[in-house]
Structure 1
Amino acid sequence: METVIDVRNLTKSYQDFVALHPLDFSLKRGEICAVIGKNGAGKSTFFKILSGQIEQTGGEMTFFSNHTEVSLNRSRKRMGFMIEEPTFFSNMNAYENLNYFRIQRGISEKERINDVLRIVGLSKNPKKKFREYSMGMRQRLGLALTLMSSPDCLVLDEPTNGLDAQGISDIRNLLLKLNKEQDITILISSHILSELQLVATSFLFIDKGKVVEQISRQQLNEKSKKYAKIIVADAAKAAQVLEMNFDKIDYRVMPDNELRIMSHIDHIGEINKVLLSHDINVNEIKVESLNLEEYFLGLGDGL
Structure 2
Amino acid sequence: MTFVLEATNLEKKYKDFTALKHLNLHVKKGAIYGLIGKNGAGKTTLIRIICGLQEPTNGTYAIYGVLNHEKITEVRKRMGAIIETPSIYGEMTARDNLIDQYKLVGMPTHDGIDELLTLVGLNHTGKKKVKNFSLGMKQRLGIAMALANQPDFLILDEPINGLDPEGIIEIRELILKLNREKRITILISSHYLDELSKIATHYGFLDKGFIVEEISHEELMKKLERKIELTVNQPTEFVKYFEKCQIPYEVIDRRTINVYGKYNLSSFITELSNHQLTVEEIHEHEESLESYYMNLIGGAIND
Common fold: TM-score over 0.5? yes
Mind listing any 5+ residue stretches in structure 2 that lack a counterpart?
234-255, 271-283
**Equivalent residue letter for 1:81:** A
Instruction: Report the alpha carbon displacement of residue 302 of structure 1 after superposing the two structures with TM.
Output: 6.4
Instruction: Name the CA distance, whole Å, in 2 between partners of 1:153 and 1:144.
Output: 13
Aligned equivalent of 1:69: 69
Partner of 1:168: 168
**Closer/same/farther in 2, CA of residues 301 and 161 from structure 1, 3 Å limit:** closer
- The letter of the residue matching 2:289 is L
* Distance in 2 separating the partners of 1:67 and 1:106: 24
CA 1:273–1:52 in structure 2 vs 1: closer, same or farther (change >3 Å)? closer
Q: Is residue 226 of structure 2 the alignment partner of residue 226 of structure 1?
A: yes
TM-score, normalised on structure 1?
A: 0.80
In the alignment, does 2:287 pair up with 1:290?
yes
Provide the residue aligned with 1:59 in structure 2.
Answer: 59
SS at match of 2:126: coil
Structure 1 residues 116-131: aligned runs within 5 Å: 116-131=116-131
Q: CA deviation at 1:116?
A: 1.1
1:26 and 1:247 map into 2 onto residues whose CA distance is 42
> Paired residues, what number?
264
Matched, 1:214 2:214: yes
Aligned to 2:251: none
CA offset at residue 70 of structure 1? Answer: 1.1
Aligned 1:1-303 pairs, distance under 5 A: 1-224=1-224, 226-227=226-227, 265=259, 271-272=266-267, 289-301=286-298
Query: C-alpha root-mean-square deviation of aligned residues, in Å?
Result: 2.6
| Counterpart residue type for residue 31 of structure 1 | A
Normalised TM-score (structure 2) = 0.80
Q: How far is 1:145 from its partner?
A: 0.6
Q: Match for 2:65: what amino acid?
A: S
Tell me the distance in 1 between the aligned counterparts of 2:77 and 2:162: 28
- Unpaired stretches in structure 1, ≥5 consecutive residues: 229-244, 249-261, 276-286
2:197 alignment partner, SS class: helix
Q: Secondary structure at the match of 1:77?
A: helix
Residues 267-294 of structure 1, C-alpha deviations (whole Å, 9 max, x = no match): 955645879xxxxxxxxxxx87422112
Task: Work out whether residues 227 and 263 of structure 1, in 8 Å CA contact, stay in contact via their aligned partners in 2.
Answer: no
CA distance in 2, matches of 1:300, 1:30: 28
Shift of 1:216: 0.7
